[in-house]
Structure 1
Amino acid sequence: MDRNNHPRGTRNSRRETRKHSFSKKMVYLSIFTISLVLICGGVYATYAMQHKPKEASELENDDHYEKKEASLLEKIRKSQKQEDFEVSEQEKKDGYIQTLIYEPVSTESIPQFQAIKSELTTLIEAAQKNSPKDDEIKLVGCTKRLKLTDQVFSYQPVVKIYSWDQEKEDWSEKTELGKNTAFVNQKTKQPLSLQDIFMSEANMLAIQQVVQQKLLSESPDGNALIDGVLNMPKMTLDGTTFTYYPDKISLGLSENPTGKTELTLSYKDIAGYVNPDIIDPASIKEALPEPLDPNKKYISLTFDDGPNPETTPRLLDILKEKSVKATFFMLGQNVVKHEALVKRVAEEGHEVASHSYSHPQLTGVDAQRVKDEVQKTDKAIYHAIGKLPTDFRPPYGAVNKDVAMIIGKPIIQWSVDSQDWQSHNAQSIIKRIDDTAYNDTIVLMHDIHPETVDAVSTVIDHLRKEGYEILPSKELLGKKAKPLHMYYGSTDERPVQ
């Protein structure tokens, strides 16, 4: 068939098809064009936002931060310059974290410096690890020195963490302190030691008595623990751990029935046994009695071998009537029998001290017997009055260095012997004391003899007539008598040989 002879309808259909196809292409082209415009517009908008000129408020915020940062760094550096020892600065920048480390230029006066430096490094590394990664941080590490006394300086690693607070538009500060503090004796340039603080083994033994009493007092049942407490190993200057403070000290404890591994003592409780140059003077102010008046006369009345239920109560009545306080050196075997009487002695303000358990000559028995004589009496007195005796009088005055070490208490001798044990006569006792008494002496009597009790009232009257003030031996000695030493008066102190 001739194509010129196709029906009109067929030509029209093809024309419509081409027209529809063209329209469809135009739609796709329009969509593509619009999409391209939107994408390009978005990219441009993002670029424009990122690169548009900062507004005035943003410029002001940046300027504010820079000023605050400069002020902080100036403050940090000025603070380090104010330290009384020269330091060097090491600076490191890691992202948003700026670290400044200050080390002393000279470390000769800090024998523990390497340990301090090691802990400071650990503190800084921990702070860096724990700091936010997208916040501005300043870490400042240094060794802080404090003058605790004229002779003691402390050194401690310190890290200060400064974080930028967006809301407050300022730096916030936090301080991390090292766990270990180095204390240095500036006189010796050596680490502070117990030798510096307590000066002698004798004072260390005195401290042990205070520790034992404190452990018992803080226990709900001291009587149940007393054997273990009394048998604690001797504390020594070179074998006892400690933590020093200007107003107190914490001492490490050996194994004991209380379970405590450390005990803190205020210096005011051990004022007679500490070096005043090493501690804060205010910590022992008024802790010791005023020195005895050199223009007065003093004497102490002491009574051995009691208590006795027949004679001691009568003696207590006389002392109460005369307003006199005395010292009673008691035998443990009598304390056990007459606890109520012992309690009365203590409650009426007299000193209760130890005279052994059964009155042997301690230099003639073995070490275990000495220990038993001392500890059994300590237990008996503690059970009666809740306090351990702090002073000791050896029977017959017999003592040597080995015995004194086991006793572990000040040895209180006498300088005036009433010889009541020999005369058993009131008038002889009175005359003997009248004839031999002198200033700053300790009088030996025995409250187990009726004749002694008969003589006491007159003895007191005569001493007072001669101008004597009568004190318990502890007060006469200024409350600072120490173990391994013998005392015959406040000015007659002798080391036990």
Structure 2
Amino acid sequence: MDRKNHPRSTRNSRREKKKHIFTKKIAFASILGVSFILICGGVYATYAVQHKHDEVNEVEEDNQYEEKETALLEKIRKAQKQEVLESSEQEKIDGNIQTLIYEPVATDIIPQLPEIKTELTALIEATKKNSSKETPIKIIGRVKADKINEQVIGYLPAVDTYTWDQEKEDWSEKTEVGKNTAYVNKKTKQPLTLQDIFLSEANILAVQQVVQQKLLDESSDGNAIIDAVLNMPNLSLDKTTFTYYSDKISLNLPDNSTGKNEITLPYKDIAGYVNPEFVDASFIKDVLPAPLDPNKKYISLTFDDGPNPETTPRLLDILKEKGVKATFFMLGQNVVKHESLVQRVAQEGHEVASHSYSHPQLTGLDAQRVKDEVQKTDKAIYHAIGKLPTDFRPPYGAVNKDVAAIIGKPIIQWSVDSQDWQSHNAQAIIKRIDDTAYNDTIVLMHDIHPETVDAVATVIDHLRGEGYEILPSKELLGKKAKPLHMYYGSKDERPVQ
């Protein structure tokens, strides 16, 4: 019998085959199960290791942050203790924002302290508002002291902001200071005043002249605003407000129609009129001319009443040939008629100054007439050469305190009178100057007289033969003559009485 075809044999064969398949499935499932367990175990182990590593990193980062936070606070407090301005600390903590405020202990040394504290509070609040609430921040509010010189110290609010930089693992720093600095006179412990800086009304009037010229220079058309400039009320030591800087000063101008309400002057432009104790010396050093050599002799030649088209050009030729610079005190009415001649005087290096408009005795006029005589001449000279005259010689030398205040310029008198107006004789003029000249004097002549021009070349030769160096009056006076004072020489200065 064929076994292959037997029914029982066939069934057994199928049963064995199924059993074999089942066994294989069991084995495969077991392998999968073991693999899954191994994989899960590996994943868990990896997670556990990584988690443990992250925990270690977090601890390390926390420790590093705390160390740097401690170091920062120590640095801040140490720096504050080293400040000249002793202060007390106030601490405030709001979430991640820690604020340290340092207030001066001695409040009497800063009269403006309430204003400084108000601005400091505003700076701190603005910093908080603009800062992230999620990042650690240290805000340090303090009063910063800046020593300008031995007499002036400035105080201003300052805010230092330290923000934690997670990537760099360190603090970033930013400093913001207030807009207003409170300057204090260290000697008086009072706010700095214009009296401290300029000392006298005469000096502030001299500064007024600089202001006027600067307004004209900065204008697109000076002639259009000349009246507004000349009629601007005077600056005042007690009423003019200002902003002080180490190298310059900004002055708030009185109400005027120039379109300007403030002007800034570098100290080098007003060096002759500032108190050097209250200004950084480096900004005015070497600005003023060196003092005259005490071992030399100096004299100044001045000419009144011109310009005259018949005589002044010839005088200019002689001065040019001799290499001499002089001062011309001009009448406004002649300036108007001979502008080109005024321009030549200025271009050749001579000083153009004012001698009034029509040569009246100013002490016999009312205030408005005096003002007109001065301003009309100022306008005429400015129109001719673009510069206002800074020095003034009153006709006949007649001046008093009221007139000097209206003039608002240094009064340049004379100490040697050539009497050319009287003699009209060249030899007499030469002899008069030879007999009366002495060191540090100002010689009076008139360029409208032909005899004076005839005498000038010999006068110069004789003076030089006697060892004199001839200078314009402004240079003889050191470029620092001031209003309300009159000058007969660099060592003969008198307040106008």
Fold match by TM threshold 0.5: yes
In the TM superposition, residue 258 of structure 1 has moved relative to its aligned partner by: 3.6
Q: What is the CA deviation profile of residues 453-477 of structure 1, one whole-angstrom value per residue up to 9, with x for unaligned ones?
A: 0000000000011111000000000
- Look up the equivalent residue of 1:246 and give its one-letter code: S
Q: What residue is the counterpart of 2:315 in the other structure?
A: 315
8 Å CA contact retained: 1:232, 1:254: yes
Aligned-partner Cα distance in 2 for 1:489–1:198:
23
Q: What residue is the counterpart of 1:73 in the other structure?
A: 73
8 Å CA contact retained: 1:219, 1:258: no
Q: What residue is the counterpart of 1:43 in the other structure?
A: none
Superposed counterparts of 1:390-401, under 5 Å: 390-401=390-401
Superposed counterparts of 1:329-408, under 5 Å: 329-408=329-408
8 Å CA contact retained: 1:303, 1:447: yes
Matched, 1:283 2:301: no
Q: What residue is the counterpart of 1:17 in the other structure?
A: none
In the TM superposition, residue 71 of structure 1 has moved relative to its aligned partner by: 1.5
In the TM superposition, residue 170 of structure 1 has moved relative to its aligned partner by: 1.3
Q: What residue is the counterpart of 2:220 in the other structure?
A: 220
Superposed counterparts of 1:34-53, under 5 Å: none
Q: What residue is the counterpart of 1:293 in the other structure?
A: 293
Q: What residue is the counterpart of 1:154 in the other structure?
A: 154
Q: What residue is the counterpart of 1:58 in the other structure?
A: 58
Matched, 1:111 2:111: yes
Aligned-partner Cα distance in 1 for 2:286–2:267:
11
Q: Please report the TM-score for the alignment, with normalisation by the length of structure 2.
A: 0.89
Q: What residue is the counterpart of 1:206 in the other structure?
A: 206
Aligned-partner Cα distance in 1 for 2:333–2:69:
78
SS at match of 2:263: strand
Q: What residue is the counterpart of 1:492 in the other structure?
A: 492
Q: What residue is the counterpart of 1:473 in the other structure?
A: 473
Q: Please report the TM-score for the alignment, with normalisation by the length of structure 1.
A: 0.89
- Look up the equivalent residue of 1:56 and give its one-letter code: V
SS at match of 1:480: coil
Aligned-partner Cα distance in 2 for 1:415–1:355:
17
In the TM superposition, residue 223 of structure 1 has moved relative to its aligned partner by: 0.7
8 Å CA contact retained: 2:232, 2:254: yes
8 Å CA contact retained: 2:233, 2:256: no
Q: What residue is the counterpart of 1:6 in the other structure?
A: none
8 Å CA contact retained: 1:426, 1:455: yes
In the TM superposition, residue 52 of structure 1 has moved relative to its aligned partner by: 8.0
- Look up the equivalent residue of 2:123 and give its one-letter code: L
Aligned-partner Cα distance in 1 for 2:171–2:96:
14
In the TM superposition, residue 175 of structure 1 has moved relative to its aligned partner by: 1.5
SS at match of 1:383: helix
In the TM superposition, residue 302 of structure 1 has moved relative to its aligned partner by: 0.2
- Look up the equivalent residue of 2:100 and give its one-letter code: L
SS at match of 2:127: helix
SS at match of 2:175: strand
8 Å CA contact retained: 2:201, 2:237: yes
Instruction: Select between 141-150 and 76-85 the one with higher mean Cα deviation.
Output: 76-85
Aligned-partner Cα distance in 2 for 1:242–1:138:
35
* Length, aligned pairs only: 449
Matched, 1:122 2:141: no
In the TM superposition, residue 256 of structure 1 has moved relative to its aligned partner by: 3.4
SS at match of 2:439: coil
Instruction: Select between 378-387 and 260-269 the one with higher mean Cα deviation.
Output: 260-269
What CA RMSD, in Å, does the superposition of the two structures yield over aligned residues? 1.4
In the TM superposition, residue 149 of structure 1 has moved relative to its aligned partner by: 0.5
In the TM superposition, residue 53 of structure 1 has moved relative to its aligned partner by: 8.9
Aligned-partner Cα distance in 2 for 1:261–1:402:
27
Aligned-partner Cα distance in 2 for 1:73–1:472:
65
8 Å CA contact retained: 1:135, 1:164: yes
Aligned-partner Cα distance in 1 for 2:356–2:480:
22
Aligned-partner Cα distance in 1 for 2:105–2:140:
17
In the TM superposition, residue 84 of structure 1 has moved relative to its aligned partner by: 1.1
- Look up the equivalent residue of 1:271 and give its one-letter code: A
Aligned-partner Cα distance in 1 for 2:393–2:142:
55
Q: What residue is the counterpart of 2:134 in the other structure?
A: 134
Matched, 1:266 2:266: yes
In the TM superposition, residue 54 of structure 1 has moved relative to its aligned partner by: 5.4
Q: Point out where structure 2 has 5 or more consecutive residues left out of the alignment.
A: 1-47
Aligned-partner Cα distance in 2 for 1:180–1:395:
48
Q: What residue is the counterpart of 2:10 in the other structure?
A: none
Instruction: Select between 257-266 and 312-321 the one with higher mean Cα deviation.
Output: 257-266
Q: What is the CA deviation profile of residues 301-354 of structure 1, one whole-angstrom value per residue up to 9, with x for unaligned ones?
A: 000000000000000000000000000000000000000000000000000000
